[in-house]
Structure formats: structure tokens, C-alpha cells
Copies of this chain bind each other. A is one copy, B any other.
Amino acid sequence: MTQSERFTGVLVPASTPFTPDLQADGARFNAFCRWLLDEGADGLAIFGTTSEANSVGLQDRMRLTEGVVEAGVPAAKLLPGTGTCALSDTVMLTRHAVELGCGGVLVLPPFYYKNPSDDGLFASFAEVIERVGDARLQLYLYHFPQMAGVGIPLSVIERLVKAYPDQVAGLKDSSGDWSNTEAVIRNFPSLHTFPSSEARAVDALKIGGAGCISASANINVRAIRALIDVWDKPEMEERNKAVSAVRKVMEGYPIIAAVKAVLAHYSGDDAWETLAPPLTKLSAGQKAALIGGLTESGFALTMPGASKAA
């Protein structure tokens, strides 16, 4: 993979379906991933935060990644999350993704020990790159300090880009701090940088950002893709309004559970409502209010039904 092939556009942190006994459900996952690409996703950031990745065991993550490739999803479209707390586990997942031909990996810093030094954080990523030792590796840094408890400061990004210009390919900024996103885009033009919401996709594209990787793309990827396709044209304004209306409804609920409630409703497949602990599904009242709010905003979705997904 060359730099020109790095990800751009809208990537979906695809939700992970679970069976009633909390196993990651490969069959539903494959169908969902194929559907997201049919809907216009430029790539699938499987095993992100929205995907409940950190609630999915390491073996299950590898099994699902293999499965989705076997099911016909081009590996080059996949950007699996492979960052764990332990170097050897992160290396194992990263190597596995690279060997499958994934277009990249999205890597959290080790997130148990808080306030790491710049040296320690640099070493955490550098050791992964060195140990995987594969020219095909395209590593996207995953900055989400509020959730992970550990972020990736500009000083560390700078060292990594200098040391590994061919491997450090991009960054997802889930901080919601636009000044940080802007600083990453402006300071590191070689990186493909994605804000975590379509709310900032156009702003990012205007200054050289790559698009967005957004939770709500799970349910609205067609409209987000349509927005990004015209980011520098007058039609942008109207499309942005429609996308914003949907996002604003979603923002009133715990986002991971809300995405699954919407998928369950529009697919008619209640299995989507299962979340892995410690997360819990929306109450019936919350779900009804969410669907009501979405309908009112003009949102509509046609999804393959339960019979197709199963």
C-alpha cells in the first residue's frame, strides 16, 4: 500500500453484533459489513470504540476479521482496531491484520497505565511497528483521551511520523477538540486524519483532512458519503443539514446502544440490541423516543431484515 492508497472519505466503526450468550456473531457481522460497503462506506473501521471492540476477546477479533474477508469484503477496505494494553497482544492483532491484507490498523495507546511519558508512549507504538516489521503496515493512531484515559500528544505524533514516515499513515481524533484535530492536520500533512464526527468532516476536508470515522455512519453512511462527495460544492449545505439533524437526535442517547437500537428497529432483527457488558441496551422508552425523534428529523433507513442477516 502506498501513501496515495491511504483511507479517505467516510469510514464506519462497524457495530459488532452479539448472540444472546454474548458471543461475537460472525454471520450477522459479515452481512452488516457487506451492506455498509453497498451503502457507500469508503472503509470499515471494525473494532473501534463504537464496535465494543474492547469487549471482544482477542481470538474473537481475529476470527471475525478472517470471517468478513472470507465473506467477500476486500481486506483493503478494513481498518481494524488492534491496540490493546499489552504490547504482545497488540503485535499479535496487528500482524494478523497486516497478513490478511487489511488496508490499515487503528491503534489505541496502551490505556491502563495513565500519564505515560512521551518516551513511554513513543516506545509503545515504535515497538509495535518494529516487531510487526512489515512494509505493508499502515498504522493509524487512535486519539481518544476521554475514553481511553491516555491520549497521543502532538509531540509524540511528531516523533512517530519522523521515525516511521512510511508506516504511520493517519490518525483518528475522537477527542472532539477541533483545535487538536486542526493542529494534527496542519502539522502532519502526510497523515490521513479523521475527526470522529461528520459534524467536522467538511471542516477537516477544507484544510486537508481525510474525511470522518463516525459512530452514526453505522446507520447513516449513505447520507454522510453523499455529503462528503460534495464537500466543496454548494449542495454541501443542504446535505449537511440533513446529516446534522440525524446526528443531533442520536446525541441525546448513549451512542453505542443508540446505534444498536436503530439497527434493530430498521432491520427488524432484535438480536442487534444485545450489548456486551459493561454496556447495556436502551430501555424500551428510550428506544421509542429515539426512533420517534429520528422519524421526525426525516430519517429513513432500508436494511436487510432479520432473515437475510441471520
On A, residues with C-beta under 8 Å from B are: 22-23, 49, 52, 54-60, 85-89, 92, 109-114, 116-117, 119-121, 123-124, 127, 146-150, 276-280
A116 to B149, CA, bound (A): 15
Chain B: which residue is nearest A275 at the CB level?
Answer: B120
Question: B residues within 8 A CB of A55?
Answer: 85-87, 110, 112-113
Distance in angstroms from A267 CB to nearest chain B CB is 24
Are B279 and A116 in contact, CB atoms less than 8 angstroms apart? yes
Are A116 and B278 in contact, CB atoms less than 8 angstroms apart? yes
Chain B: which residue is nearest A24 at the CB level?
Answer: B88
Chain B: which residue is nearest A57 at the CB level?
Answer: B88
Question: B residues within 8 A CB of A54?
Answer: 85-86, 110, 112-113
Question: B residues within 8 A CB of A114?
Answer: 146-147, 149
Are B147 and A277 in contact, CB atoms less than 8 angstroms apart? no
Query: Beyond A112-B148, A123-B278, A124-B278: 10 further Cβ-contacts under 8 Å?
Result: A22-B127, A54-B86, A54-B112, A54-B113, A55-B87, A55-B113, A57-B86, A57-B92, A116-B279, A120-B277
